[in-house]
Amino acid sequence: MQLSTRGRYAVMAMAELACREAGDYRCGHVTVAELAAAQHLSSCYLEQLFGRMRRAGLVRSARGPGGGYRLARPAGQITVADVIAAAEENVSTTRCQPGGPGCDAAPPGERCLTHGLWEALSTHIATFLRNVTLADVIGGTVSAVAAQPAAVQAA
């Protein structure tokens, strides 16, 4: 399983934005240039990502002097899954697609022997990402979320 740079950068930048707002909610809008410098990322690339975050309702933007971005809702209400989905990222551990030709090693129309394993892993990853918020990331409590039983996380 691999998450592309688009998904990783989106999470990094959104966590940076959440961190700045957590430190001082009156910090105002944060520019893409500030976020890019803090995370050592490309401003142009982040601008594209933040356009996606805005369209997904995760951030609000303001133009002009003092403009930039703010979280659209509290960091505890924005999950890592929300950010990754807004970045139009697909986190999957199997190449099999519903209705698709099946795994590379399987005969056409069939699934490989390990498909169920990878599908279950994808489900666990998706559940985990839906339960981790930006507040967890910036608060250092991700490991506590990871330690919770799946039944508790799904509730």
What gap in Å lies between CA 37 and CA 140, rounded to an integer? 22
What is the per-residue pLDDT for 16? Answer: 92
pLDDT at 5: 85
pTM, full prediction? 0.80
CA angle 63, 64, 65 (to 5 degrees): 130
Chain centre to alpha carbon of residue 66: 27
Phi, psi torsion values for 150, nearest 5 degrees: -55, -35
Q: Judge whether 91 and 129 are in contact, CB under 8 Å.
A: yes
The CA R_g of the chain, rounded to the nearest whole Å, is 18
Neighbours of 44 (CB within 10 A): 9
Mean pLDDT of the chain, nearest integer: 83
For the chain, the first-to-last Cα distance in angstroms comes to: 26
Phi, psi at residue 36, to the nearest 5°?
-60, -45
pLDDT score at 100:
53
| Residue ranges of E strands in 16-145 | 59-62, 68-71
Given a cut of 70, is residue 152 above it in pLDDT?
no
The ranges assigned to domains in the chain are: 5-154
pLDDT score of 98 more than 70 = no
pLDDT tens-digit map of 24-75: 655 678 999 999 999 999 999 999 999 999 999 999 999 888 889 999 999 9
CATH for 5-154, options being 3.40.50.360, 1.10.3720.10, 1.10.10.10, 3.40.50.2300: 1.10.10.10
